[in-house]
Structure 1
Amino acid sequence: MPKENLIVGRIKGIGYAFRGAWLLVRTESSIQIQVVIAGIMTVAGFYFEISQTEWILQIFAIALVLGVEGLNTAIEKMSDYIQPEFDEKIGFIKDISAGAVMLVSLAASIVGLIIYGPKII
């Protein structure tokens, strides 16, 4: 089998990534809720005319929450595949993964309060 061209491989990889992102948004309610919140925060950014630095922080916070939620979902799906029955060790892994999402979401909320708190008050 001939080795795949580097550019062709990268294009295929990007296609797989888009497919994965689409599957995540289409099938996972937690991501759907977070995408709606991200949309609301984006509209708020335009409404309050946030600065370039605030946009960078907001986009980073949104991307971090969505990315970690995606990893959490992957860990949960893989855990369920490996061990479909209840398992204390798998539960521990899933709890840690969910905890990571909570920590990132909390930090993103704080960023949002720092950006929008003074503008609202």
Structure 2
Amino acid sequence: MKHQQTSFISGRIKSVTYAVKGFYLLITTEHSIMVQLIISALMCVLGFYMKISATEWMFQILAIGLVLTAESLNTAIEAICDYIQPNFDKKIGFIKDIAAGAVTFAALTAVVVGAIIYLPKLI
């Protein structure tokens, strides 16, 4: 078996190409990601409107990234589960529920971050 040698640079270019393709697929085919992106955009508009500080921006962007990452991983886990077992299966359902629970943790964290940033400005 012959190993095909690729240069470091061309290997990285391929990796980035696959990552961009995955990003594009997520934002164009996954409704949950679309919803999260809309919410993220609204929170950014609110951030500009409320003139949040650089530190608050940092936490808001990290919270948004956390939710989008969790949602993306959940989508990948669900796709793998559906590929492995297209029929209903209790164990697959358990795995999907756990992955969805991780998204809930991320979303609740983002809500708390948002509350810490915005509630004092609104009260």
TM-score normalised by the shorter chain: which range applies?
Answer: over 0.9
1:116 matched to which residue of 2? 118
Match of 1:13 among 6, 12, 15: 15
CA distance in 1, matches of 2:4, 2:79: 33
Query: What's the CA shift for 1:7?
Result: 1.1
2:53 matched to which residue of 1? 51
CA distance in 1, matches of 2:71, 2:40: 13
2:90 matched to which residue of 1? 88
CA distance in 1, matches of 2:13, 2:35: 30
CA distance in 2, matches of 1:97, 1:2: 36
2:34 matched to which residue of 1? 32
Q: Match for 1:93: what amino acid?
A: I
| TM-score normalised according to structure 2 size | 0.95
**What aligned pairs does 1:47-86 form with structure 2 within 5 A after superposition?**
47-86=49-88
CA distance in 2, matches of 1:29, 1:71: 14
Q: Match for 1:53: what amino acid?
A: T
- The list of structure 1 runs, each at least 4 consecutive aligned residues, that deviate by more than 6 angstroms after superposition, is none
Q: Match for 1:108: what amino acid?
A: A
| TM-score normalised according to structure 1 size | 0.97
Which runs of no fewer than 5 residues in structure 1 stay unpaired? none
CA distance in 2, matches of 1:13, 1:42: 29
How many pairs does the alignment contain?
A: 121
CA distance in 2, matches of 1:69, 1:76: 10
CA distance in 2, matches of 1:29, 1:117: 29
RMSD: 0.9
CA distance in 1, matches of 2:40, 2:89: 34
CA distance in 2, matches of 1:80, 1:2: 32
